[in-house]
């Protein structure tokens, strides 16, 4: 008898996560209806689901939240890291929790729907996480239909037919296309985001936007830098025309090797000026490639807000926020670079610096949002180096 996909529907299910190998995780749809294909990952942060969803580095990815109380602080217009959600959707264990926060404008479910993002709740997120840990991050489709109508074979084919994140330059897609000035500091209770108000002779940082998080921009300003943001494809000459004291390379989505095709020549020209450089996450990976190191795709990636990272100079451990699926292979660092930080979860490289000029980068997210603030010192170190 011919296979009947409808026979494989689960009664009452309005949402499903479909892996490329045909594995199905049934649940209840939330947010927008429809389907989206990308890489399925997991994030272990206990707070900050809205920041996570709007981090441009999550473009092309579907996030499984391992923390069950998603929705408890609702959604607002302030806690966003990019202009809209970049993650394709999210998978949750429990129904979305009703908001209980004075800062909430709307329930998370409504926010997802308003932005056209799909959620699936009631899923065994531990089973997904165990599977990713064992077998790596799969390509998958997340789908929501309020009548429970899914063409499973078509969804499996869509997941299996997606080319995957490797080789994908997504930075160009999420980057701003214009040059703009950022002048805002972190948020204060009762006051909101603070103005930068920096003197005209404060050091000037040009930040290359490969998918930059707003929290990074706020930390740079808070550390005392005037910041101009340029598109990912900005040329060396365009950057130099802004007369920067330092260059910042942002976080961003996709495969660093693919973005490196146009980013690396610009970075190499900057390094030749010997002026300071600081990179975060994708920016760290791009600096790595620019100095001749190699990046590799990780088995499962690091995504969460509790990742211990050791500073190799003094053995200090900082608890960090992370979101990456690629890593710089420490064994490929050139002679004029050294490892500065490593992950205590798997010893992967988490920071590097050049020994003959001020250029350094970290794989984790010192700006947090969400996550611990142990690594804020890196922004001060960079901006002090510009004076
Ligand atoms: N947050 C980031 O900048 C992510 C960098 C890169 N896209 C990765 O997944 O490793």
pLDDT tens digits for range 267-325: 999 999 999 999 999 999 999 999 999 999 999 999 999 999 999 999 999 999 999 99
φ and ψ at residue 35, rounded to 5 degrees = -145, 155
Task: Tell me if 134 is assigned to some domain.
Answer: yes
Q: pTM for the full model? A: 0.97
Q: Which residues have CB under 8 Å from 207's CB, separation 6+?
A: 182, 216, 217, 220, 227, 228, 229, 230, 248, 250
- pLDDT confidence tier of residue 108, bands split at 50, 70 and 90: very high
Mean pLDDT of 181-204: 96
Task: Tell me if 3 is assigned to some domain.
Answer: no
Q: How much is the pLDDT for 2? A: 47
**Three-state DSSP string of 245-267:** CEEEECCCCCCHHHHHHHHHHHH
Q: Residue 271's domain spans which residues?
A: 171-384
Is 254 annotated to bind a ligand? Reply is yes
Is 252 annotated to bind a ligand? Reply is yes
Taking the centre of ligand 1 as the mean of its atom positions, its distance from the CA of residue 10, in whole angstroms, is: 35
Taking the centre of ligand 1 as the mean of its atom positions, its distance from the CA of residue 250, in whole angstroms, is: 10
Question: Is 138 in contact with 110 (CB distance < 8 Å)?
Answer: no
Exposure letters 261-271 (e unless 16+ CB within 10 A, then b): eebbebbeebb
Q: Which of 102, 136, 161 is the last residue of a domain?
A: 161
pLDDT per position as a tens digit, 13-58: 999 999 999 999 999 999 999 999 999 999 999 999 999 999 999 9
CATH number, residue 266: 3.40.50.880
Catalytic positions, please?
281, 365, 367
Are 58 and 129 members of one domain?
A: yes
- pLDDT confidence tier of residue 11, bands split at 50, 70 and 90: confident
Mean pLDDT of 151-165: 97
Mean pLDDT of 191-219: 97
Closest ligand 1 atom to the C-alpha of 326? 10
Are 183 and 273 members of one domain?
A: yes
- pLDDT confidence tier of residue 6, bands split at 50, 70 and 90: very low
Q: How much is the pLDDT for 5? A: 52
Are 193 and 148 members of one domain?
A: no
Mean pLDDT of 72-93: 97
Question: Is 245 in contact with 275 (CB distance < 8 Å)?
Answer: yes
Is 57 annotated to bind a ligand? Reply is yes
């Amino acid at each position: 008898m011919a296979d009947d996909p409808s026979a494989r529907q689960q009664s009452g299910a309005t949402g499903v996560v479909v892996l490329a190998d045909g594995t199905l995780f049934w649940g209840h749809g939330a947010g927008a209806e429809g389907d989206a294909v990308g890489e399925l990952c997991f994030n272990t942060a206990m707070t900050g689901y809205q920041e996570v969803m709007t981090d441009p580095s999550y473009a092309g990815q579907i996030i499984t939240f391992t923390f069950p109380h998603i929705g408890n602080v609702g959604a607002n217009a302030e806690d966003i890291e990019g202009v809209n959600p970049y993650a394709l959707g999210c998978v949750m264990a429990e129904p979305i929790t009703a908001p209980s926060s004075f800062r909430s404008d709307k329930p998370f479910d409504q926010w997802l729907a308003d932005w056209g993002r799909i959620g699936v709740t009631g899923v065994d997120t531990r089973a997904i996480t165990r599977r990713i840990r064992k077998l790596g991050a799969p390509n998958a489709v997340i789908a929501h239909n309020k009548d429970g109508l899914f063409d499973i074979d078509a969804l499996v084919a869509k997941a299996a037919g997606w080319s995957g994140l490797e080789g994908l330059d997504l930075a160009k897609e999420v980057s701003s296309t214009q040059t703009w000035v950022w002048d805002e500091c972190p948020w204060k209770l009762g006051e909101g985001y603070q103005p930068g108000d920096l003197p005209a002779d404060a050091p000037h940082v040009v930040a290359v936007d490969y998918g930059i998080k707003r929290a990074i921009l706020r930390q740079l300003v808070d550390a005392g830098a005037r910041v101009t943001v340029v598109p990912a494809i900005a040329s060396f000459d365009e950057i130099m025309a802004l007369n920067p004291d330092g260059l910042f390379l942002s976080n961003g989505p996709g495969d660093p090797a693919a973005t490196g095709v146009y980013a690396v020549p610009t970075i190499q020209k900057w390094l030749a000026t010997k002026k300071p450089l600081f990179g975060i996450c994708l920016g760290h990976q791009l600096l790595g490639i620019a100095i001749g190191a190699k990046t590799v795709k990780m088995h499962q990636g690091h995504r969460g807000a509790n990742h211990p990272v050791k500073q190799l100079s003094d053995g200090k451990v900082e608890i960090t926020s992370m979101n990456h699926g690629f890593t710089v292979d420490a064994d490929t660092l050139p002679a004029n670079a050294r490892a500065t930080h490593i992950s205590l979860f798997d010893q992967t490289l988490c920071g590097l610096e050049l020994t003959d000029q001020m250029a350094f980068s970290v794989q984790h997210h010192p700006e947090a949002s969400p996550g611990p603030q142990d690594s804020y010192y890196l922004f001060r170190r960079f901006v002090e180096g510009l004076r």
